[in-house]
Each structure stands twice: as C-alpha cells, then as structure tokens.
Structure 1
Amino acid sequence: MWIDSVAPSTVDARNDGPLHHQLSSVIRQAIAEGSLPPGSQLPTEADVQARFGVSRSVVRQAMSALANDGLIQRGRGRGSVVAPHHEHHRAVQKMSGLSSQISTPDDVVTTDVLDFARSSDPRAEQALGTSDLIALVRRRSINGEAIAIIHTWIPRALVPGLEPADLTNASLHETLGTRYGVPVSAGHRQVRAIAASETLAHDLALSPGAPLLVLEGTSCDENGTTIEYFCTWHRADRVVFDVDANSDATEAPLSAQPRSGARAAQTPTGDVATMARDLADQARRLADTLSS
C-alpha cells in the first residue's frame, strides 16, 4: 500500500505548518507524481491515523481540502478515491483564446462577467498608452467547473457601447473582430506559477495557496498596435500549457516588448518555451508548501 512507503515523520507536530496541511501536501504530492493514479483507493482514516499518529479531525480536515480542490472523491461506505484526471490543453504560443482552444463537442464552455468598469492599472497604462481603460474580470468554466479567471484591460475608445452582457458566454477576441473590426493577430506572452490568493481561491473554488498557472501579456491588432493587456490565472490541476520548442539554431532573435501605440512583433516560440520551462515543477513545489 502507498502509505507504507511514507515515513511517519513526514507528518509531525515538529515540522512546519499545521498537521492537516502537512498530510494533505503528502497526498497531493503522491497524486501529482503518479504514486496515487486516478481511481486509486486512499487509505482509510484509521490507517492514516495509525501511520502518522494524528487525530481523526486532522485526517478529515486534510481530506476535505483535497476534495474541495477536486483531487479526491469521497463516498459514504466506499472511502475516498483519487478523482479522474480532467486535463485541458492550451497552446500558449497561439493567439486564439482559452475558450476556442479547449472547446470540444463533449465540453460546455461558459463565461461569466464578474466585473466590468472604468478602471486602470499601471502595467496596463504603460502597455496601452492611456489611462482611459475598461477593466474586465471574467470567469471561464467547463461543464460547470471554474478553471480560469481572466483580468483584461482595453482602451475605452476602442469598444464604444460594449456591455457586460456582450461578453457573457462569448469571446472578447471574437467580439473585437466581428463587432469592432479589430482582429487580434499578435502579442507577447509570459507564463509562471503562483499560489492562489484568498480572492482567486474563492473565485475558482480552491483552497488558498493552491497552485495556479498564469498567462500574462499583451495583444496587438493587424497593424501592430497594442489593444489589450491581460492576466489569466488557470487551475494547475485542470489546465496544461503546451509549447512547441525549436532548437537554438532555428530560433529567431527575441523581439522587444510591445510599446504602447506602436508596432509590436509576435514573440517567437522559443521565447515562450524558455519562459514556460519547469512550470510543472514550480506548481508541484507550490502545492507541497501551501501556506497555513
């Protein structure tokens, strides 16, 4: 049994962090590494108590956190099992949005507009060259499960008459192209791993500190003018970033960061590949060091 390979001292009051966080991290790591594959039966509460010398309440807190994050399924009379692995893939070097990349005949993709207001952000102002911006906060879900939170800033003058209802269950890029005649054709992207804040955890139905993958950057129109600044936080247990990498000999020179109101070349694939390196390891380490 998997639990027999885990040292009892792995969960101990002398270690850093509450016992239930230590225990959930041990199980979380085993799921991430494949030691507990989807469908695996987890040890009983009694087995876990005996192995680590913890109370029943500690075990139940740990299991509840894992269930809330969608990593395990709990059932009366049958114990807990590792949940099926639902992965959605996103090619970060492509300009198409999240909804178009992950949409399949078997998936229902929905978009809720959580906030829509005149607002600004120093990074967005610098990228877009104006402080007269509309700030959008959207939540994208698949089959009723939230998988991403999207913060977007766009120049207000670019989208006259735009309303929140126009973006409910709709694509912003598609709306820009068809309604406003502004096709999105290039951009710059950065990817990194972070721990979920209280707000992001609430909006994504996760525990605070859960690992997230962030895609951040700008988008440009066909003339190279920057028209969008965005940050998208993805659930690391649901979304996988795919990157096509080239050898150093075939990579083009790295382009400069887009300038506000100026022409901006699309970032080469190799740049994205470099920024995406080790994201899975970062996310795993974050999961193992959840803050109390």
Structure 2
Amino acid sequence: MWLDELADDAVDPARKVPLHAQLSAVVRSRITDGSLPAGSMLPTEAELTEKFGISRSVVRQALLALTGEGLVLRGRGRGSVVAPPGEHHRLVQRMSGLSTQLDEVTTEVLSLSPERDALAESTLGVRDVVALHRLRSAAGSPIALIHTWLPSALALSPEELTNASLHSLLRRKHGISIVTGRRQVRAVAASPSQAESLRVAAGSPLLLLEGTSFDAAGLPVEMFRTWHRADRVVFDLDVVKGDTAESSTTTGSPQPHSGTTSNLGVADRARALARDLQALADDLGSHAPVVGPGD
C-alpha cells in the first residue's frame, strides 16, 4: 500500500505548514501524479491518524479540503475514494472564450476600477485604463481567474459583465469585434490569493494564458492574464502540417498571396483560391501566434 511507503514524518508538526495542509498535499500529489487513479480507496481516518500521529479532526479537515477541490468523493459508510477527473477542455486557438466553449459556466465580477499600469497603458496605447477582475466557474467549481485591462472609454459595468462574455458585450455595445491576438502559455504556482479564489492549495500548479487582443483595424482592445486550475482545465490545440511558405504578416492579420487569376475560368479560379487558402492555413499553422480567448 502506498501509505506504507511514506515516511512517518511526511506530516510533521515541526513544520510551519498546518498539519491538515501537509496531509492534503501528500494525498493530492499521489492523485495528480497518477499513483491513485480514479476510484481508488483512500486509507481510513483511523489509518491516517495512526500513520502520522495526528488527530482525527486534522484528517477530516484534510479530506474535506480535497473533497472541496473535487479530487475526493466521500460518503457515509463507503469511505473516501478518488474522484473521476473533472476536466474542461479549451481550444486556445479559437477566439471564443471559456464562457462559450463550456457548459454551465458562470462569471463573477470581483472588481472593476481604474488602475495605473504602465504595461497595460503602453500596450493599449491609452493613459486611462480599467482593471477587470473576474472568476469563472464551471458546474459550481472555480476554474479560472481572469485579470483584464481595458481602455476606460469603453465604459463597461459589473452588471453587464456578470455571467457574460466580454467579447460579446464589446461587439454588442460598441461594435468592436476581436479578430486576432497574441497569446503565451506558461505554468506557474498559485499565489496565496489566487489559491484562495480558485480553492486550491498555495503553490498548486496553474496554467497562465496571457496576451493582447486586437480589433479588425489592428488596434489593441484588451490585455489580459488568465490563471486556470491545471487539475480542471486542459488546453487543446489543432495541429496542421507546416511547409516552406513564407510568413507575410507580423500582426496576425492574413495577407493575400500573390497570383493572377483574372483570365481563368470559374473552376480554375476556385482551384486557385483553394490553393491560396491552403497555403495561408499552412503558413498560419507554422508561423502565426496562437490565437486564444481572453474574454
């Protein structure tokens, strides 16, 4: 049994970390690394108490935390078992965001206020920006924390943004369509405040998606950072075969390929257009930045 393989001081009162947090971290690591697959029975409260020399109340607090994270299922008379994975898949190269890609998504506006941020001001090309902080949840569980910077002139309200898509609101209210952008993805550790909002332990792995979005005129509309729970959200990518086609743009806006079809018949024109579109798709697949949702 995996419990027997652990050192007795894996949960140590001498450490500054609370005992329940130490125990939940031990079990969590075994679940996330695959040592405890879905459906695995966890040790009983009595076994955990005896193994680490801690009180049963500490054990219960640790198991409740894991239950709240969706990692463990508990039931009277059946003990604790590892929960099936509750993954949400997100296509990061699509413009649509979590609010349109997932079912049962809710959006809570944590704050919306003016904020001085040199990077956001420089990126958006305006002096007055507002910072929009939101929490996205799926099936009642938080999955993403979003910080977005927007020009103050857009004049959005928390009421409009609650349980709504920012991109849809911009299109409906201001006629602004987000058509392209640059995105970066990196793995980061949850800060204490992020951990509290996302209901994970501080230091837990998060997937950070950050970038800037542009409208049809190539003007920047938003700068954002979104922290996703790595145990709940999976980033999917559609991969296409690249070729030697040269990149013709640095802004993400597609440029037409050269070629004259004015003297061709309708069928020949269609075939030429298909070739141009395929070349452009291959070009974008091998050179263009990932365009993902920031709303």
TM-score, normalised by the number of residues in structure 1: 0.76
- Provide the C-alpha distance between the structure 1 equivalents of 2:190 and 2:114, rounded to a whole number of angstroms: 25
SS at match of 1:218: strand
Q: Which of 218, 234, 237 matches 2:231?
A: 237
Equivalent pair of 2:195/2:202 in contact (CA under 8 Å): yes
> What does 1:158-177 correspond to in 2, within 5 Å?
159-160=154-155, 162-177=156-171
**How large is the Cα RMSD of the aligned pairs?**
3.2
User: Which range moved further: 202-211 or 186-195?
Assistant: 202-211
Aligned AA for 1:88?
H
Q: CA deviation at 1:254?
A: 11
Q: Equivalent residue of 1:223, what SS?
A: coil
- Partners of 2:16 and 2:61 in 1: CA distance: 14
For the residue of structure 2 that corresponds to 1:166, the secondary structure is helix
The 5 Å alignment of 1:31-50 reads: 31-50=31-50
State the distance in 2 between where 1:254 and 1:212 align: 34
Match of 2:270 in 1: none
The 5-angstrom pairing of residues 1-292 of structure 1 reads: 1-4=1-4, 6-8=5-7, 11=10, 13=12, 18=17, 20-52=20-52, 54-103=54-103, 108-157=104-153, 159-160=154-155, 162-245=156-239, 265=253
What is the identity percentage for the equivalent residue pairs of Structure 1 and Structure 2?
Answer: 51
**Bigger CA drift: 164-173 or 35-44?**
35-44
Query: In 1, Cα distance between the equivalents of 2:245 and 2:60?
Result: 51
Aligned-partner residue type, residue 83 of structure 1? A
Structure 2 vs 1, CA of residues 27 and 16 (structure 1 numbering), >3 Å: closer, same or farther?
same
Q: Distance in 2 between matches of 1:142 and 1:251?
A: 41
Partner Cα separation in structure 2 for residue 46 and residue 273 of structure 1: 53
Contact 2:98–2:105 (CA<8 Å) still a contact in 1?
no
Q: Which runs of 5+ in 1 are unaligned?
A: 257-262, 275-292
Q: Cα–Cα, structure 1 residues 12 and 143, in superposed 2: closer, same or farther, change >3 Å?
A: closer
Distance 1:66 1:268, change over 3 A: farther
Aligned length: 261
State how far apart, in whole Å, the 2-side matches of 1:45 and 1:199 are. 30
State the AA in 1 paired with 2:28. Answer: R
**Which residue does the alignment assign to 1:259?**
none
**Structure 1 contact 187–220 (Cα < 8 Å) conserved:** yes
Letter in 2 for 1:8: A
Amino acid at match of 2:105: V
**What is the rounded CA distance, in whole Å, between the counterparts of 1:216 and 1:139 in structure 2?**
15
Query: Which of these two proteins has the greater Rg computed from alpha carbons?
Result: 2
Per-residue deviation, residues 12-58 of structure 1 (Å, max 9, x unmatched)? 64997745444333321221132222222111122234445555455
CA contact (8 A) 2:132 2:147 kept: yes
Instruction: Return the alpha-carbon distance in structure 2 between the equivalents of residues 37 and 84 of structure 1.
Output: 8
Question: SS where residue 159 of structure 2 aligns?
Answer: helix
Distance in 2, Cα, partners of 1:220 & 1:56: 55
When residues 238 and 252 of structure 1 are mapped into structure 2, their CA distance, relative to the original with a 3 A threshold, is farther
CA distance in structure 1 between the partners assigned to 2:13 and 2:242 by the alignment = 48
Q: CA 1:273–1:39 in structure 2 vs 1: closer, same or farther (change >3 Å)?
A: farther
Partner of 2:274: none
How far apart, CA to CA, are the structure 2 residues paired with 1:199 and 1:66?
A: 18
Unaligned runs of 5+ in 2: 255-282, 291-295
Q: In the alignment, is the contact (CA less than 8 A) between 2:242 and 2:285 conserved in 1?
A: no
Report deviation, 1:245.
4.1
My pick for the range that moved more, 202-211 or 225-234, is 202-211
